[in-house]
Structure 1
Amino acid sequence: MPRPLKPALAKPGDECVSDHSGPPHAISHPADDHDLQQVLTWLESRPVEQLMTVAVVEAIEYVLDGARTFRFDLESPEVDSDERRTVGVKLQYRILEAFGLPKERPLDTTILGVPVELKATIGGNWAIPREGQCQICLLTQVDAKNDRYRTFLMRTHRRWLNEGKNQDSKRTIRADARDAYAIPVVAWTPLPRNPLKDLTPEQVAVVFEPRVGIKRRVTALFGFLPEVVIPRVAIETVAAMAKDPLRRARQAKPDIFFNHDLVVLMGTWTPQRELAAEHGFDLSGDAWVAVRPETLGADLAAAKAMMDRTDS
């Protein structure tokens, strides 16, 4: 039996009524929606991409909790679907914190006195609750597989939502309505990629071998990823559950040098951070990198002396 045709998309000027409450109202074009434009102007007056990127990264790292779970990939089968959905919940609070917004009814927050619903998904659509229908929503989509995210601002009119609903009476947004009437706030933007995701399965088995010490695991990590900036969160994940994991990881520096002819530079120390920057490596956020001596324009002995000299 053929699938019934989807109703034509409602247009500005058409009548709409929410499942939640309230009288019928006319749909406005986003350009003519005063409250929506106020919220958009407020967002655009801030470094929205920078703030949103930090919020998304922190929400993902919170759920993975690598320093206690050894996990580094949201797409891993070790992360169950309930946990993945939790990213959206955590992201709401990270957005409030990043933008200095209150947690305030009737929705999630208010911007210039306008109620705003914060919705996030790691899938292809957002589940809009009944109280969010016909309201202004800040919509964030996280694509963990491709290490990117994007954000829209949209008044989610009931007639721009799909007919089907889940057990909580939430409805998803019609793709044609999103494409026509959602305002891009942040276009697809890359997220910092955890380099642990670039290890082969065989390399992962070595780096996370439970029967060997942290020094050997960290030594293997940098041997597999020479001249790749390793963020602090990745090092803490490899050294998960250890007391003072970064101190334990630092103890691997001589082994990395002697086993792999690599000089480890650490963002913790200003001279090393500056030396790394001279050669194109950004060690902000206490990141590390294992560099070949020839990259530093030195032979092996000179490179080691350079590392020792800046190791403070």
Structure 2
Amino acid sequence: MMKNKDAKSDVAMEGESLPLSAPPPAESSDVAARMDRARAELTARAGDHGRLFATVGSIIRDSVDYIVDAPTLRRYSIKDLDPDEKTAIGKRIERMLRFQLKIPKGRGLDISLGGEDVDIKTTIGDTWMFSKSSHGYLHLLIAYSEEKATFSIGLAYVHDEHLRKGGNRDRKRSLKEAAKENISWLVENHPYPENFLARLPQGLLDTLALKASGMQRVLQLLRSVTGKPIPRHAICSVANQRDPMRRTRSNGGARDVLWAEGLLVLSGKYADDKTIVREALKIELAKTAFLTLRASDKRLNDDLLRLYQRSHSLPLLTSHSS
């Protein structure tokens, strides 16, 4: 297994070069060439390194949310999962990576990259487990942290001498600490979308749980979290109803109710709403996100308030609620 020890933790912004690992050292040219081929195909299937990292981050977020299943089970954190459910996250990441990047299945392992079988290993933390059948093969290693909302992805060549003695009940063994130093990282500690609901104060989560209807929960969420983008998944999770996005719209939805209370419900779906967020907060609102602002917010001028009112056919406010 090879690693460029100088690979940096952060990824450059658009237009700058990405801090990728250098080719593996030449002490094992055969493994180095195999890693190069696997890395090249993986990147090519995504389009470029930036798209690869964005795809992997999105897959991790979606996979965790899928297994946590907040809309149905009213739980919001990976900490609420059983061990087998955490394992299921890894299997879903593997399947979604193969599906979204159109990577063919291997003959005996998870995928085929660079003309050979490659196994995918995913972990929450930094401990991957390897069975004897995967010794001598390349592995695509993915590690992620829900607490930090970061992930790392790298390639490793694993053989018996790289693994600890002993193992778990399935006779799988983990990498020695020294062997971890030889992982050839594509990127380390790259951010991915955070678990929005898990980062809300517990008091607010408790309050949401006490609300009898999806509409009440959505209203409480939008009232309580102002000035910060709220992802669509969070709305769906607290609504727990058919057509949950209807709760945010006009015609009796949250937009009408909260406008009467002096709150704007802004959606990245609408150009005028995006303009309001851009001019008031100097940020871009994602197409699937929402954001609430109080009409009394000093960053909103009268022109922006009128734009919002006209855009959504709302009545004039008699006063700005504080």
TM-score (norm 1): 0.81
Q: Does 1:298 align with 2:291?
A: no
CA distance change for structure 1 residues 248 and 165 in 2, over 3 Å: closer, same or farther? same
CA distance in 2, matches of 1:172, 1:66: 32
Report if the CA contact (8 A) 1:219-1:253 is conserved.
no
Deviation readout 1:105-162 (Å, 9 max, x if unpaired): 2211111312110110114301112221121000011211222211111011211111
| Correspondent of 2:73 among 69, 74, 78 | 69
| Correspondent of 1:55 among 35, 55, 59 | 59
SS where residue 153 of structure 1 aligns?
strand
Which residue of structure 1 aligns with residue 23 of structure 2? none
CA distance in 1, matches of 2:88, 2:95: 11
Q: Does 1:271 align with 2:272?
A: yes
Which residue of structure 2 aligns with residue 146 of structure 1? 148
| Correspondent of 1:97 among 99, 109, 131 | 99
Q: Does 1:284 align with 2:286?
A: yes
SS where residue 75 of structure 2 aligns?
coil
Report if the CA contact (8 A) 2:263-2:294 is conserved.
yes
SS where residue 138 of structure 1 aligns?
strand
**Paired residue type of 1:49:** F
Q: CA deviation at 1:268?
A: 2.1
| TM-align CA RMSD | 2.3
CA distance in 2, matches of 1:90, 1:30: 33
CA distance in 1, matches of 2:28, 2:282: 43
CA distance change for structure 1 residues 53 and 30 in 2, over 3 Å: closer, same or farther? farther
Q: CA deviation at 1:303?
A: 5.2
Q: CA deviation at 1:296?
A: 4.8
CA distance in 1, matches of 2:215, 2:268: 19
Q: Does 1:223 align with 2:223?
A: yes
Within 5 A, what are the aligned runs for 1:81-92?
Answer: 81-92=83-94
Q: CA deviation at 1:239?
A: 0.3
Q: Does 1:207 align with 2:211?
A: no
Q: CA deviation at 1:234?
A: 0.3
**Paired residue type of 1:160:** H
SS where residue 145 of structure 1 aligns?
coil
CA distance change for structure 1 residues 205 and 276 in 2, over 3 Å: closer, same or farther? same
SS where residue 275 of structure 1 aligns?
helix
CA distance in 2, matches of 1:135, 1:54: 27
Report if the CA contact (8 A) 2:145-2:151 is conserved.
yes
Pairs aligned (count): 279
Which residue of structure 2 aligns with residue 309 of structure 1? 310
Report if the CA contact (8 A) 2:230-2:289 is conserved.
yes
CA distance in 2, matches of 1:99, 1:74: 26
**Paired residue type of 1:230:** I
- Larger displacement relative to structure 2 (281-290 or 127-136): 281-290
Which residue of structure 2 aligns with residue 190 of structure 1? 191
Report if the CA contact (8 A) 1:123-1:142 is conserved.
yes
CA distance change for structure 1 residues 132 and 280 in 2, over 3 Å: closer, same or farther? farther
TM-score (norm 2): 0.79
Report if the CA contact (8 A) 2:162-2:176 is conserved.
yes
